[in-house]
Chain A
Amino acid sequence: GAVVSQHPSRVICKSGTSVKIECRSLDFQATTMFWYRQFPKQSLMLMATSNEGSKATYEQGVEKDKFLINHASLTLSTLTVTSAHPEDSSFYICSATFSGGAAFTYEQYFGPGTRLTVT
């Protein structure tokens, strides 16, 4: 259980175009979804936190107008990279979470990632 999917797994786009990446929780309702970016040989960098029906909360230094996040339902969040440039080329990973049974336990379930290449 607790499977998260991402689509597409790979995408190549031209500079200046926009790309949408979908993140779905397949067998649970995700109260919160997170978006990360990972450059080669580096760790994951949290970009934003989104709750269903609310505006996303972006981490410092992440342009909210460039990385549009929509969390329209408890099973779907989308990340749109607008006016993509080569420096936006990266591995984008989403995760989803829900409150566990105990008071303070939770776990994030990660998607398989989306490799974005901007030419």
Chain B
Amino acid sequence: LAKTTQPISMDSYEGQEVNITCSHNNIATNDYITWYQQFPSQGPRFIIQGYKTKVTNEVASLFIPADRKSSTLSLPRVSLSDTAVYYCLVGEGSGNTGKLIFGQGTTLQVKP
């Protein structure tokens, strides 16, 4: 499974855009890139998933360059409630196990 590397922590202020970059140099052809958010004592919550180029939903955007060796999660105008741990994962697609291996994640602290 491809290993991911992301910053351990980031600080931001309310209203700012936050970009968290993840490296996954050994990503396989079948792998999708998925980001999850986790609050303390809760299960992770799906944020966004992509395979290539750009994906946008109501909460975030995901930018994936052509070589797919990295990806950037963009959170527009963060608020205090976005303080959480963000995990970048690459996982096997359907037809395989769908197994995900969590890295250390990025702890985002949003300040007022």
| Residues of A near any B CB (own CB < 8 A) | 4, 6, 32, 34, 36, 43-46, 49, 57, 91, 93, 95, 97, 99-100, 103-113, 115
Task: Establish whether residues A44 and B102, one from each chain, have CB atoms under 8 Å apart when the complex forms.
Answer: yes
Q: Interface size on B (CB < 8 Å)? A: 27
Interface hit among B11-19, B56-64, B69-77, B93-101: B93-101
**Closest beta carbon of chain A to B75's beta carbon, Å:** 19
25 interchain pairs, CB-CB under 8 A: A36-B102, A43-B102, A45-B102, A46-B102, A49-B99, A95-B44, A97-B98, A99-B94, A103-B94, A104-B51, A105-B94, A106-B32, A106-B91, A106-B94, A106-B98, A107-B46, A107-B49, A108-B34, A108-B91, A108-B100, A110-B44, A110-B46, A112-B42, A113-B43, A115-B41
- Say whether, besides A91-B41, A95-B43, A109-B46, A103 and B93 are in contact (CB < 8 Å): yes
- Number of CB contacts from chain A to chain B under 8 A: 73
**Known interface pairs A97-B98, A110-B44; A104-B30 also in contact (CB < 8 Å):** yes
User: B111 within 8 Å of A by Cβ?
Assistant: no
- Residue positions of B touching A, CB distance < 8 A: 30-32, 34, 36, 41-46, 49, 51, 87, 91, 93-95, 97-105
> Is B99 in contact with A34, judged by CB distance below 8 angstroms?
yes
Residues of B within 8 A of A111 (CB): 43
**Min CB–CB distance A9 → chain B (angstroms):** 9
Assembled-state Cα–Cα distance A115/B43 (Å): 11
Known: A43-B105, A113-B41, A115-B41. A108 touches B46 (CB 8 A): yes
Closest beta carbon of chain B to A116's beta carbon, Å: 12
- Chain A residues near B44 (CB-CB < 8 A): 44, 93, 95, 110
When the two chains form the complex, which single residue of B32, B45, B99 contacts A105, counting CB atoms closer than 8 Å? B32
